Structure 1
């Protein structure tokens, strides 16, 4: 079985009957569903023609939003009334991960995260374009509009980034996800198109003014370091083009500070499981290389990813070049060995394979 076939099969196998994708079925801390990586998993399924799987996921997103509608509306009202307290740990906000049945998950990780709420809107629009299922917009419209209202109210608040960290900061990648979600809905919500266009432009300008330094994009407002997730601001969120000088310099910084061989680290001071190389970020860099005419390098990344395949599938990260080796065993003792398989790793391999035109 090829890695493409295995990846599709594994994702389908671990999609719950509700439509949710388990982030990692064998890793106890990831036996939940996230809107963000679930959306990228759905996107990978769309890229491989498995539109039914993606549709089920977006229907699950709709179910989650509707299930927590009262909480979302209360949060919107509180923010508008100036009662947000700028506290990213405040439980009045929607959570970032859920059980497959849409229940909130309590835990030590930060729960107030906005990137998933923008990302699922972007992914839904991608699904509609690739599958032709335009009826889904009408079916999910109440939750789409509630999500827009929620991110419109909250986008300027500090909240946790895509790694569940930095809850006291504002993150360009999170804003990029919100921007992409808002812009993707413009064509479908004609009565709100002008409002969405204006909000999208406001967010874009904020990123340019506060999310850049030294000619490139930065990890967080006030933190000028580089984070590999900044690739997302070009692909797929479209804040910048792949050949924009801001992105070119950002990628150069990623290559200099975070790339080791074909593996890509999250950020330089990462200590989670010793700060290994994340396969999904390697795939993202490969995606960028395809779009910028560096196909051979992208092919080598895809081949390298295939060599990281374990008995259970692709891992979250590999330990070929740890940034903080002393922290690896600490995390193993605390939480067990790193997640295998990680559905998001398989999803991004599928996206890279699709970009390269690899069929099997």
Structure 2
């Protein structure tokens, strides 16, 4: 028989998930964009494909298909408005004279879909793969016709096929000189998913398939050390973003040895008392623990069959929540507290709330059956 405290615990976890869903919906822009954070100075007024696609997936899995579709529509308009830019990038790559990083597609946009006016670390490929994956997952989950978004999917596939092997900034806007394994996995997941979208023309589908195959080979050849994935090609460090390649992205099968070894290393090196750091050399706001990353690791462990471990990570993420949502990070086990003041002086206190954190909590709660969609 289930004890009353356990029931109460799950009810509280479920209530928090529903609160996060409501918060995300309340802050979504009329045009479909999800604000990264409504208050944090460096994020306010902007939407990322990466964050937004994970948010949309959580809303789709969490029972709000209309919210997810509004975001996908926003993404499609952003990409279609840059049709000529994609054509130039693809043509230059085919000619062997790739455009400079500054001329590649941006990573974040204002809510109207325009390029940001503030200086940013803009050349990041991962979000374009993740939006393809989230759209395809949504279409499969809800039996939705993807036709309204297929033109934007074609443009995205062409862009990624031309440029996937280039070094670029990672999820954290760092190290543009490296080829990041989480970026490769994000593109792999998106291209694989897009390749089987009903209605996609065969030429583009084949381009997605062949590109995905090349990325998979590169990832498994150059992105592995001692049987687990690494942060970027040529390092022995790991990064929390790698957990997403197991789940929710599914770039790796959760039962394969490479996936399990990667999760074990991430849990061992980056998790303290249930809270996950981004990477061991992190100094951003002192290198705190990120609820969204604990939830991503929880998703991966859930997919691998470690339900109790996943529930522990969900509980830790819940412990960081407050009435206004869930923060980007907390300072319980800072890696280097000497850097906190530097960042606070630059941008103010770290992002709180962060919609991506709310989304990953909701997504894990749904995955574990804590809350029903």
TM-score (structure 2 length as normaliser): 0.92
1:148 maps onto 2:157 in alignment: yes
1:224 is displaced (CA, Å) by 2.0
| Counterpart residue number, 1:226 | 238
1:51 is displaced (CA, Å) by 0.3
| Counterpart residue number, 1:257 | 269
1:234 is displaced (CA, Å) by 1.4
SS of 1:104's partner is coil
Does the 8 A contact of 1:172 with 1:220 survive in 2? yes
Give me the whole-angstrom Cα distance separating, in 1, the residues matched to 2:69 and 2:300.
Answer: 27
Give me the whole-angstrom Cα distance separating, in 2, the residues matched to 1:272 and 1:28.
Answer: 15
SS of 1:33's partner is strand
Q: Which runs of 5+ in 1 are unaligned?
A: none
Q: Deviations over 1:333-357 (max 9, x none)?
A: 1110010110000000011101110
Does the 8 A contact of 2:132 with 2:193 survive in 1? yes
Give me the whole-angstrom Cα distance separating, in 1, the residues matched to 2:150 and 2:251.
Answer: 25
| Counterpart residue number, 2:84 | 70
Does the 8 A contact of 1:280 with 1:349 survive in 2? yes
| Counterpart residue number, 1:24 | 37
SS of 1:29's partner is coil
SS of 1:277's partner is coil
Q: Which runs of 5+ in 2 are unaligned?
A: 1-11
Give me the whole-angstrom Cα distance separating, in 1, the residues matched to 2:302 and 2:136.
Answer: 23
1:27 is displaced (CA, Å) by 0.8
Return structure 1 stretches of 4+ with deviation > 6 angstroms: none
| Counterpart residue number, 1:161 | 170
Q: 1:266 aligns with which of 278, 283, 292?
A: 278
Q: Deviations over 1:197-230 (max 9, x none)?
A: 2221111001111111121101011222000111
Aligned length: 355
1:343 maps onto 2:355 in alignment: yes
Give me the whole-angstrom Cα distance separating, in 1, the residues matched to 2:211 and 2:88.
Answer: 21
Which is worse superposed, 64-73 or 95-104? Answer: 64-73
Give me the whole-angstrom Cα distance separating, in 1, the residues matched to 2:33 and 2:219.
Answer: 31
Does the 8 A contact of 1:279 with 1:345 survive in 2? yes
Q: 1:296 aligns with which of 295, 299, 308?
A: 308
1:107 is displaced (CA, Å) by 3.6
| Counterpart residue number, 1:276 | 288
1:309 is displaced (CA, Å) by 1.1
1:267 is displaced (CA, Å) by 0.4
SS of 2:103's partner is coil
Give me the whole-angstrom Cα distance separating, in 1, the residues matched to 2:189 and 2:268.
Answer: 28
1:7 maps onto 2:16 in alignment: no
Q: Deviations over 1:249-299 (max 9, x none)?
A: 212221221111110000010010001001101001111222233222222
TM-score (structure 1 length as normaliser): 0.95
Give me the whole-angstrom Cα distance separating, in 2, the residues matched to 1:91 and 1:24.
Answer: 25
1:83 is displaced (CA, Å) by 2.5
Question: Superposed, which structure 2 residues align to 1:85-96 within 5 Å?
Answer: 87=100, 90-96=101-107
| Counterpart residue number, 2:4 | none
1:118 maps onto 2:129 in alignment: yes
Give me the whole-angstrom Cα distance separating, in 2, the residues matched to 1:223 and 1:347.
Answer: 30
SS of 2:325's partner is coil
CA root-mean-square deviation? 1.5
SS of 2:165's partner is coil
SS of 2:87's partner is helix
